[in-house]
Amino acid sequence: MITLRKITLDNRRAVFNLEVSEDQRQYVASNLSSVASCYVLSTNGGHPFPFAIYADEQPVGFAMLTYGITGYELPSVADGSYCILRFMIDRHYQGRGYGREALAEMIKFIRTFPAGPAQLCWLPYKRDNTAAKKLYESFGFQENGEICDGEQVTVLRL
């Protein structure tokens, strides 16, 4: 069973050690860098929710959800919307359905509107990231035609 859990003193090193394959590194920053970005966001008015993704008791991935993200190049849909960033499943655990289950859990969490109301959830992905594209489209995300920092913007109505 997949669960989203807080980053803690106990699990932080295991989360930092999770990695994608070499050819996927172009798609996602390291988890250490992502947790650092969450700190910067939270000290500058943002609302980041960094999550370790667990399969039963095993950390297998990471994602950060944000609300009211600021300080980046942003698409028009960003204002007052939730955003999913830095989503990854470790290379040893990919292809087992964990990513799909984790995304369902993230959307369920976002639909509790933990940081405020919103109409939309958006995320950016690189055009050639076909695994991510297929996964997001199967949840109903649709590209809105915008490019953010070189990445396609795709949007889900909440």
Ligand X SMILES: CC(C)(COP(=O)(O)OP(=O)(O)OC[C@H]1O[C@@H](n2cnc3c(N)ncnc32)[C@H](O)[C@@H]1OP(=O)(O)O)[C@@H](O)C(=O)NCCC(=O)NCCS
Interaction site with ligand X (CB under 6 A): 20, 24, 27-28, 87-89, 94-100, 125, 129-132, 134-135, 138
The sign one gets for the Cα dihedral 152, 116, 89, 41 is positive
- The conformational region for residue 157 under phi > 0 = left, psi -120 to 50 = alpha, else beta, is beta
Other C-beta atoms lying within 10 Å of the C-beta of residue 116: 10
Write down the least CB distance from residue 135 to ligand X, Å: 4
User: Which amino acid, 122?
Assistant: W
Identify which of residues 118 and 132 has a Cβ nearer to ligand X in the complex: 132
Identify which of residues 82 and 87 has a Cβ nearer to ligand X in the complex: 87
Other C-beta atoms lying within 10 Å of the C-beta of residue 83: 26
Write down the least CB distance from residue 9 to ligand X, Å: 25
Write down the least CB distance from residue 112 to ligand X, Å: 22
Strands 142-148 and 151-157: antiparallel
Write down the least CB distance from residue 125 to ligand X, Å: 4
Identify which of residues 101 and 158 has a Cβ nearer to ligand X in the complex: 101
The strands making up 142-148's β-sheet, listed across from edge to edge, are 2-6, 49-55, 58-67, 82-89, 120-125, 151-157, 142-148
Asked if residues 63 and 84 have their Cβ atoms less than 8 Å apart, the reply is yes
Write down the least CB distance from residue 26 to ligand X, Å: 9
Identify which of residues 12 and 126 has a Cβ nearer to ligand X in the complex: 126
Identify which of residues 24 and 45 has a Cβ nearer to ligand X in the complex: 24
